[in-house]
Amino acid sequence: MPEPQAGPGEVKIEVSFNGICGTDLHEYFDKPAMVPTAPHPVTGVEAPVILGHETGGRVIEVGEGVDDLAVGSLVAVEPIVRCGYCEACVAGAYNHCSAMAFHGFSTGHGGLAQFTVVRRQMAHTIPEGLTDMHAALVEPMAVSMRAVKRADVHEGDWVVVHGAGPIGLGCVFALQALGAQVIVSEPAPDRRSFVESLDVAASVDPGSDDLVTMVRDLTNGRGAAANIEAAGSPAALLSALEATRRFGIVVAVATYSSPLTIPHRSLFRGEVSLRGSVAYAGEFADVIAAMTKGAYPLDHWIDVVSLDGVVDAFDDLANGSALKVLVSPRPAA
């Protein structure tokens, strides 16, 4: 591919790490959804594209008009390309922009490459003391942070997180920073073992344990204040609804590959609120601030591969033998 150059109002980044996301897996293994198969109305881009939207790296060039970001700065890329003037953007909900494009899907040249170019407003400076790896993790952790915000959690609340993949783990990290009591439901023994090492209040194997009974036992029969469904499992969503206390909140942040059927009793019982959560709109700053306080440990859950290892990494993530993979596209020294 030709090396991209920064135009007016843009910055060119040498990618340090780019994470592989569950959405990337859906695009790769199922069918294009985020990747346009006809020219995108804003960018004109269509498949094939370079994937990669969980990007962290170093600024190596700034375009005309960019005078507030120095070459050499470590940045995290917020991949939403927004118009700034539609109703959603004006309201601050730019994750619902009516003319949205998404870097790494509909901009053509994502972060699974040695270099990428983005608008200046999409590059968030990472402060001293954090690493290039932190920069690449801001995007998925911002997805989790928004889900936690949507759950309206307070210190001391009991919260169930369904799924200990990267987004579920991000929810655990954010919830623990808030002082919540976290229960994690995860069928994979290795992932369950890892979350137990994080000193969560309890862990559950949904394949063999009675999640709803356990939650009610731990909460004196009330149920959890909130459940966050990050597994993409219809069964998990139903369990979440049953394990939530009266007037509590269930947040669905996962992507589902088939239509959902929700019995009306699950919604009406206890007047539980079911909320969706998509992407982020301001959460990058929250995550970066929490990272500076040590809220996001890096040990024991991240694998790093070279660009040549991307296809194998997709397979490993799909079959559950890897938890989180960051790709380093820099040529070997």
3-state secondary structure of 227: strand
In the chain, beta strands by DSSP E: 10-19, 54-62, 74-77, 80-81, 101-102, 115-119, 123-125, 158-162, 181-185, 202-204, 224-229, 244-252, 273-276, 302-306, 324-328
Taking only the tens place, the pLDDT of each residue in 219-276 is 999 999 999 999 999 999 999 999 999 999 999 999 887 888 888 888 788 899 999 9
Could you give the residue range(s) of every CATH 3.90.180.10 domain in the chain? Answer: 10-125+301-328
What's the pTM value of the predicted model, to 2 decimals? 0.95
SS3 content of the chain, % helix, strand, coil (to 5): 30, 25, 45
pLDDT at residue 241 in the model: 95
pLDDT at residue 6 in the model: 96
Could you give the residue range(s) of every CATH 3.40.50.720 domain in the chain? Answer: 145-276
| Count of beta carbons in the 10 Å neighbourhood of residue 154 | 12
Q: For the chain, which residues score pLDDT lower than 70?
A: 332-333
Instruction: Reply yes or no on domain 145-276 having CATH 3.40.50.720.
Output: yes
pLDDT at residue 333 in the model: 47
Q: What is the CATH number of domain 10-125+301-328?
A: 3.90.180.10
pLDDT at residue 64 in the model: 97
| Count of beta carbons in the 10 Å neighbourhood of residue 255 | 16
pLDDT at residue 330 in the model: 81
